[in-house]
Amino acid sequence: MIEDFVRDFARLIASRPDDISVERQSLGENFDEIVIYAHKEDAGKLIGKEGRMINALKTVISGCKAKDGISYRVNVRTIEEPKG
């Protein structure tokens, strides 16, 4: 559920929405990491000026903690274009 929300949110912001993918990894009991993979030109848009965009996303996701009891860390990583 959270992965779908993050993926849809990121695709709305990105210039290359088809390059967006989201992965959720369990880091321990009640703690998960959500990694957004995006093209390098979209990484800055997802993070936002002074981190405002990613912080807003983290705030929305933190509301999910009340529902499922899991804390989340959100990271943005870039993907490289295939060499051809």
Please give the average per-residue pLDDT across 5-17, as a whole number: 92
Confidence of residue 22 (pLDDT cuts 50, 70, 90): very high
Q: How far apart are CA 55 and CA 66, in angstroms?
A: 18
pLDDT (tens digit per residue) in 27-58: 888 889 999 999 988 999 999 899 899 999 88
Q: What share of the chain is helix, strand, coil (3-state, %, to 5)?
A: 50, 30, 20
What is the pLDDT at residue 63?
78
Q: How far apart are CA 80 and CA 56, in angstroms?
A: 26
Residue 8 pLDDT exceeds 90: yes
In DSSP terms, 36 is beta-bridged to: 22, 76
pTM value is 0.84
Ordered structural domains, the chain, with CATH: 2-79 (3.30.300.20)
Residues with Cβ within 8 Å of 3's Cβ and at least 6 positions away in sequence, in order, are 22, 23, 24, 34
What is the pLDDT at residue 19?
92
